[in-house]
Chains A and B, each alone.
Chain A
Amino acid sequence: GQSLEQPSEVTAVEGAIVQINCTYQTSGFYGLSWYQQHDGGAPTFLSYNALDGLEETGRFSSFLSRSDSYGYLLLQELQMKDSASYFCAVRGTSNTGKLIFGQGTTLQVKP
């Protein structure tokens, strides 16, 4: 089976840097994705790591280490609008697009 673990809540102040960790147990997967969801809204894709290492997209970066079964999302220069839930997800190596999501981390950005 596949399971992903994330902290349930993280709090940070505006302008700061925050890291949201994701540890996983899976027999095989293509890569690790991150999605953002504002309260009641649709999840939106943020980033994807197929290979080990760091991927940077503007203020957001994502990291994957397959040997450590670990990844993280790094948010820099936090803004109030970054307050949302963040989900890591994996897609298994079976021939399907099924995504398995972590339970999500609620980020609260304070002034």
Chain B
Amino acid sequence: DSGVTQTPKHLITATGQRVTLRCSPRSGDLSVYWYQQSLDQGLQFLIHYYNGEERAKGNILERFSAQQFPDLHSELNLSSLELGDSALYFCASSVAGADEQFFGPGTRLTVL
């Protein structure tokens, strides 16, 4: 158990819908990262927040947005969902911008 929690574990929805994925980092970690992993693909960096502020963006679609709240939990919002958005979404946390990141169990999103 990494100490990072993600909810929900599974999410099944329809095209055009909007969903919110939630992440709670390890106690004491100020950095939260979101990654997308499609079937048989590597981990694609989406976005990094540090202590409530956005620090870096990857190839995140405009339909996707995220935020980190004062209690340091983070939410990833995915809207106007398409079939291609079906993937595993991982949240990770670390102390500042560390190379050792602790990953949550992931949310498996299926768009039908």
Q: Which residues of A are found within 8 Å of B104, using beta-carbon distances?
A: 42
Q: How many residues of B contact A (CB 8 A)?
A: 28
B43, B58, B99: the one within 8 Å of A31 (CB): B99
Contact indicator per residue, chain B 30-65, by CB within 8 Å of chain A (1) or not (0): 010100000001111100101000011010000000
Query: Max chain B CB contacts within 10 Å: which of A33, A45, A87, A89?
Result: A45
Q: How many residues of A contact B (CB 8 A)?
A: 25
Q: Which residues of B contact A (CB under 8 A)?
A: 2, 31, 33, 41-45, 48, 50, 55-56, 58, 88, 90, 92, 94, 96-106
Query: Could you list 9 examples of A-B contacts with CB < 8 Å?
Result: A31-B99, A87-B42, A87-B43, A94-B56, A97-B33, A97-B56, A99-B33, A99-B45, A99-B101
